Amino acid sequence: MKIVREPRVYLVGRQHTDADGLERFLTDHGLSWTTDTEVGAETLCETAGRVCYMSFGKGRKTNREYLRHILESAHGSVLEHATWNFIITGVSRSFTHELVRHRAGFGYSQLSQRYVDESTADFVEPDAIAADPELHAIWEESIRQSHAAYCRLVEGLARHYAAEPDPTQRRKLARQAARSVLPNATETKIFVTANARALRHFVESRGHEFADIEIRRVAIALLRILQREAPGLFGDYTIVALPDGTEVARTEYRKV
């Protein structure tokens, strides 16, 4: 049994523009336009915004200026055209339960406790418990007991379902019932796809001091990646350290 205290966020996918397709659209409409960003997400959001007014070649010159105006004017639907894909690991089931409440503009694929054997599961310990030896001992004992019960239940349920001829189905039946004793602290993995508008909403609500520390940590980790990926879409946020050592995200362009 391994204790995990730090989430990991892997950026595994981003968008690219199809330059030929964009050029065909411009030519078909007698337009000539280029932008000064090489970031696919930023180009696509600018293109989408310019389609609204067919303003190619007019008005604001740089992509950064253009996207800042989108944020200022809260033209948020334009930001839905930029998406990224992430794998998040080293997080608890309580974290993912909060994460999947974010419905609009998010897609999820999470490790299945019905199919995957949790007898080798890791567990995520909150910092506040880890910092205190007495609390840590209570937590660890509770985790060990739950985990041992899970393993015993899987064995017993395998006997209970012995008449099931398909071994995969037999294991699934046993694990899906036994998982009921696994704690919220059980480590999980989740594949997340989200657009820039949804990610901004997530960063604002979960990168806030009122949010749970684990989800806040993930929100700040995502924000750091996104600020490197697309500064035009996320550069308005500042990350502020609080006196307790945790971090929050702030912006003047909330709820775009």
Ligand X SMILES: Cc1cc2nc3c(=O)[nH]c(=O)nc-3n(C[C@H](O)[C@H](O)[C@H](O)COP(=O)(O)OP(=O)(O)OC[C@H]3O[C@@H](n4cnc5c(N)ncnc54)[C@H](O)[C@@H]3O)c2cc1C
**Tally of CB atoms within 10 A around 67:** 29
Task: Work out whether 101 is an interface residue with ligand X (CB under 6 A).
Answer: yes
The reply to whether 104 sits near ligand X by the rule CB under 6 A is yes
Least Å from the CB of residue 255 to ligand X:
8
Backbone φ/ψ region at 54: left (φ over 0), alpha (ψ -120 to 50), beta: left
When binding is defined by CB under 6 A, the residue of 103, 133, 162, 245 that contacts ligand X is: 103
Nearer to ligand X, 64 or 102 (CB): 102
Is 254 a binding residue for ligand X by CB under 6 A? The answer is no
Q: Please report whether residue 100 would count as binding ligand X according to CB under 6 A.
A: no
Residue 172 vs residues 113, 114, 157, 158, 167: alpha-carbon distances, Å: 9, 5, 10, 9, 8
According to the binding rule CB under 6 A, does residue 197 interact with ligand X?
A: no
Known catalytic residue: 206?
yes
Structure tokens at 98: 């909060």
Q: Does 211 bind ligand X (CB under 6 A)?
A: yes
Length of the chain in residues, anyone?
256
Q: How far is CA 134 from CA 6, 9, 129, 148, in A?
A: 21, 31, 8, 21
Shortest reach from residue 178's CB to ligand X, in Å = 27
- Smallest distance, Å, CB 97 to ligand X? 10
Residue 201 engages ligand X in binding (rule: CB under 6 A): yes
If 0-12 CB within 10 Å is exposed, 13-18 middle and 19+ buried, where does residue 86 land? buried
Interface residue list for ligand X (CB under 6 A): 101-104, 198, 201, 205-206, 210-211
Active site residues: 206
